[in-house]
Structure 1
Amino acid sequence: MLQQVSDFELELMKIIWENGGTALYAEIVEKLDSKEMSTTKNTIISLLLRLIEKGFLKTNKIGRRNRYTALVSEAEYQASQTETFLDKIYEGDAKGLISTLIQKELISADDYEELKNHWKGGDNKE
């Protein structure tokens, strides 16, 4: 099971994932600025170091710059967090989660049918 990350750490990871799984510090800052999420250099560096300690990133020196590379894919993190959520909120009962998604119209009938077909092997859309 992967460790939980803070909301801002997740934003940093999303930037790196969106950038093909690797990014320079300057690229990360540029993307944060475009999302109007700028913060201090020390905060960003601290959060990146925390992600390294948690095993989400590794860093390589390129001259005087650091390249941050994801060690955990976005799909791996999503799967881990979904499993944690399912266990914590629904005590592992996936049917309860699906029922809530349908009842609260968080998943459309078309999406539900598409998923059913996919599970039956009748739909191999990616």
Structure 2
Amino acid sequence: MENFQKLSETEMELMQAIWEMDRPVKSSELLNLFALKKGKDWKGQTIATFLSRLVDKGLLLVNREGRSNIYIPCLSPEEYKRLEAQSLLDVMYQGSIKNFLSALYDGKKVSEKEINELKQWFSKK
């Protein structure tokens, strides 16, 4: 995916719902889901705007089925996470995992146990 764009909190919430449904989904289904399970009383235009943004960002495909749009994810959650992590690495740490890990380590955010786990993980790569 070229020109990766990070998702807003609401866009991520929508994508997580779509990924969990694990099938093509209509906006009306999402409206009902968010109203019933998440207490969000969105209007149709509100969710249409968010879905349109997700299509524009390349995360969803949209197909017309009668008078409804069907939305299909283009990426799995794992693929999105990988792209977001790579974007963070590129923007904040010049693409260097070493720079990222040293920022964590220098800030004393990494325990000895985690360091040993990382060493073990890297040795298997």
TM-score range with shorter-chain normalisation?
0.7 to 0.9
C-alpha separation in 2, matches of 1:104 and 1:24: 46
- TM-score for the superposition, normalised by structure 2: 0.73
2-side partners of 1:22 and 1:95: how far apart? 40
Match among 88, 101, 123 for residue 120 of structure 1: 123
Which residue of 29, 32, 41 corresponds with 2:31? 29
CA shift digits 1:40-93 (9 cap, x unpaired): 220101111222233211133455443311012222221222122112222223
How far apart in 2 are the matches of 1:39 and 1:20?
Answer: 22
In structure 2, the residue matched to 1:20 is 22
Q: Which amino acid aligns with 1:19?
A: M
Number of the residue aligned with 1:45: 48
Match of 1:55 in 2: 58
The CA RMSD measured in Å over matched residues stands at 2.7
Secondary structure at the aligned position of 2:72 is classed as strand
Aligned 8 A contact 2:28 2:44 in 1: no
- Give the share of equivalent positions with the same residue, in percent: 32
The structure 1 residue matched to 2:10, chosen from 2, 8, 13, is 8
